[in-house]
Structure 1
């Protein structure tokens, strides 16, 4: 066959195309009193993509979005790749200097910026960057809505030739220098989104609340996963615990995600109560304590512990529940659930290695570095070959996280490599100390750091 009718290149854009075809009048997006059906969602994406093309966007040019969790940023996850560009969703918690670095390091041709975040680029040289302001009103006089109105509701011709092309660049926090641009592929985004669908059991009846930033690992790929099954997105400009509890009740939310801190805010809020409808909640970004996990279940919130990094498209492992754990005590269940587990359905391999890439014993005690490889590992750092070579040395992605491996193959994090406290020659895991301390009912949250010690070299200090 001259044409490969047995293959199409994997792209998350196809998720929206399918859902608009099957669920055209189903509510796709809810945001501050306005709603969009899947037909309208697809038309808005088409308008954005065609307008970018009309203004000269070339293949693989970078398009930056500096936005909260709004429909505009969700639309960008489809329109930018549909137009052939590369999405750069910028962390809106960064400083102006960091935003400046990202825009120019990525070489962005377009910048879409929300009105509440315009101050972050007020002193940035935007010469050569076409800038579109977003009022997030949905009204005809909103500059973003005017931008869409000038585009066509018909889909543009795809320029995608290879599913391993870059779909997005997600910049790391830059805590050890300038941020690094992590490159995601169409293939990896597609597969990770499907892995999310499987592990969280999303379906067309699901209602997903955006408590997790869309800029963070493209929303852990939930930007694409929720759409893949024709579920409903509820956008949220900012995290307000009282508002979240109101939305959980009013909209019948079935899924939301966040770091442990987000869940701590929610379960300790005055409005916290047992939900009438169970909610499946992915928790990750930092190791949750068994105490927090037990608390969440009391509110009919069922935590699913995921673990990953920016370089793994967000979630890479899941602490999959084992039926035999059902008979264990609540404390023991929470302890087991706090482990990071093993790779999700569409990921590759995750193992714990010693200094010379030898597997550590699966004894739950011997510590080593957690490393990954497979379908959902980033293709490298944009314009940074040195960092790429170092992070992917030996054919594995070196996470920098220190963990142990159990006999059931589940892993458990003990620390970041740079955070292990060596006191008197002994390794002290800050995570272990923190999780022990938060078992006390008077402790809401804590952190343990190393401080100099005249006798032992270093000692742990509780904050």
Structure 2
């Protein structure tokens, strides 16, 4: 099993089907096939040997999309690096992975010296023009002759469980870990994603989700598998996204709740002309957000997973009881759960510290654990972390959840995000969902703040919608008190935030996930490294 075969098949069956849209550039599958083979030839001519690491530091451009086929076709291992990382983090990843080659986008040329310092032997700059006259990358790949598919080292695999890519986690604690993905599991996840997304020949997928994030959840291979169209998006531009929605016939996209929030609150937002399926993941979406998306004909597929599970591996699946349901908030509440396992993956469990399943009562909390066909090989060059992650024979997520009577899991928090106040456990997600319902709030993140009496109390960092900051004036503390009063109406007293802090923006990862650890660090500075009080 190898997903690189998908492109050869699609180009053979539908050579003139539109494959890639990128700005003014448009080309079909015959051209994508040609470019990928030239790319693979260029790597081989440059001296790539089986297992050599090829790194990309690129946004969502054709080069990184095509790299998902060209690198394994040449027999290399794919390393996609987060474009928003600082120099030391990039150097660590390239050095840790042992990258020999690096394709670097025009906006990241300052990292060329970093790559060299990390031991990268060949750096190629992609100016993202599509022209041999103005792009080093284009000139480089076109200089190498195209070969027959079956003549490339990666075409005939000896072992489908061989390493295909290493995806580095965001490194919220310590250095990033290299998650090892195999050919077999990438192939299977591409199939599983098609089951969930229901791509077909007429689908148009908009690349909002970064391709460097867990190989774009294996969707480069899913989209190509059925001959659908890829629209590449260099950066997240919400006005441009709405142009693609309304003029290019987009049928699918993926993004974190933060991205979805900005999409639905964009001034150009309307009921979409063609129903769109949107995978939402990264953190639990609030019922309010799901309600808002559903109202404009964006069908929410709330999925859940990790880089260690090749992206999503569970979903809140549609239920018969909601067919014809008109109460959008009721629908949103149900579909904000994390759901049940993908086909091909074992049942997702929630277990206590002794690996016993928690009761299906919607109350008893435990840790989510995974096992199945789309579970990582392990952490690269880190056997201790791998052993710890698979303790008891299951992959440990570090997420705290409950299971309901119908078997659906519902996240309550990351283990480290639970607030213990006066002996009571407080779910930051619960508090965030309540605040997100307040009509003036755009984004919210709740973290623990030290309290001499209660140990910890919730603190909410809040970003207001633009119309309430640009066109209205308020007395100091007025908005904060409004939000607190709103919380008192919907939360037990001990769960109401002690402090509401208004912000212009919240710290986020490259995929739009709010970095709550940054906010926690602010609250616990000067405490000698302690995170409990």
- Pairwise TM-score range, normalised by the shorter structure: over 0.9
The whole-number CA distance in structure 2 between the counterparts of 1:348 and 1:33 is: 44
Q: CA deviation at 1:297?
A: 1.3
The one of 48, 64, 67 aligned to 2:55: 64
* Structure 2 residues without counterparts, runs of 5 or longer: 462-533
Match of 2:66 among 51, 57, 75: 75
Residues 1:256 and 2:253 are matched in the alignment: yes
8 Å contact kept, 1:181–1:381: yes
- The residue aligned with 2:529 is none
Q: Counterpart of 1:446 in 2: which secondary structure?
A: strand
CA distance in 1, matches of 2:112, 2:351: 43
The structural deviation recorded for 1:224 is: 0.9
Matches within 5 A, 1:309-458: 309-328=306-325, 329-458=327-456
Q: 1:150 aligns with which of 135, 143, 146?
A: 143
Equivalent residue for 1:176, pick from 168, 173, 177: 173
CA distance, structure 2, for counterparts of residue 180 and residue 251 of structure 1: 38
User: 1:248 offset after TM fit, Å?
Assistant: 1.1
Question: Within 2, Cα distance between the matches of 1:456 and 1:421?
Answer: 11
Query: How far apart, CA to CA, are the structure 2 residues paired with 1:231 and 1:69?
Result: 17
Native 8 Å contact 1:99 1:121 kept in 2: no
Residues 135-194 of structure 1: per-residue CA shift (max 9 Å, x gap): 010112211111111222222333421110111100011121111000000111111111
RMSD: 1.1
Give the match's secondary structure for 1:77. Answer: helix
Distance 2:312 2:145 in 1: 35
Q: Is the partner of 1:276 in helix, strand or coil?
A: coil
Give the aligned partner of residue 226 of structure 1: 223
Q: How does 1:37-186 map to 2 (within 5 A)?
A: 37-124=28-115, 125=117, 127-141=119-133, 142-154=135-147, 155=149, 156-159=151-154, 160-186=157-183
In 2, the alpha carbon distance for the partners of 1:445 and 1:128 equals 40
Q: Give the deviation of 1:120 after TM superposition.
A: 3.2
Distance 2:54 2:119 in 1: 15
The alpha carbon displacement at 1:326 in A equals 2.4
Tell me the distance in 1 between the aligned counterparts of 2:101 and 2:165: 14
Match of residue 3 from structure 1: none
Give the Å deviation of 1:349. 2.8
CA change 1:126–1:427 in 2 (3 A) is closer
> For the pair shown, which has the larger CA radius of gyration, 1 or 2?
2
CA-to-partner distance for each residue in 1:191-240, whole Å, 9 max, x for gaps?
11111101111111100000110000111111111111110000010000
Residues 6-56 of structure 1 deviation map (CA, whole Å, 9 limit, x = unaligned) = xxxx00101111111111110110111111211111111111111211221
Structure 1, unaligned stretches of length 5 or more? 1-9
- 1:123 deviates by 4.3
**TM-score normalised per structure 2:** 0.84
TM-score in terms of structure 1 length: 0.96
Q: What is the deviation of 1:344?
A: 1.3
Q: Deviations over 1:339-381 (max 9, x none)?
A: 0101112322311000110000011111100000100001000
Matched, 1:305 2:305: no
* Structure 1 residues 400 and 128: alpha-carbon distance in aligned structure 2, compared to 1, 3 A threshold: closer
Say which SS state the counterpart of residue 445 (structure 1) adopts: strand
Q: Within 1, Cα distance between the matches of 2:412 and 2:369?
A: 14
Query: Alignment partner of 1:433: what SS?
Result: helix
Cα distance in structure 2, aligned partners of 1:57 and 1:390: 34
User: How far 1:122 moved relative to its partner?
Assistant: 3.8
Distance in 2, matches of 1:128 and 1:430, equals 42
2 CA distance for matches of 1:148 and 1:458? 57
**Native 8 Å contact 1:46 1:151 kept in 2:** no
Partner of 2:490: none
SS in 1 for 2:348: strand
> Paired residue for 1:267, among 255, 261, 264?
264
Shift of 1:128: 4.7
Once the 2 structures are TM-superposed, how far is the Cα of residue 127 of structure 1 from its aligned partner? 4.5
1:445 and 1:126 mapped to 2: Cα distance?
Answer: 38
Equivalent-residue separation in structure 1 for 2:344 and 2:243 (angstroms): 34
Residue 12 of structure 1 is matched in structure 2 by: 3
Matched-pair contact (CA < 8 Å) for 2:287–2:329: yes
Could you say which residue in structure 2 is the equivalent of 1:32? 23
| C-alpha deviation, 1:243, in angstroms | 0.5
CA contact (8 A) 2:365 2:400 kept: yes
Once the two structures are superposed, the pairs formed by residues 199-214 of structure 1 within 5 Å of their partners are 199-214=196-211
Residue 327 of structure 1 deviates from its aligned partner by 4.6
2: CA distance, partners of 1:97 / 1:118: 15
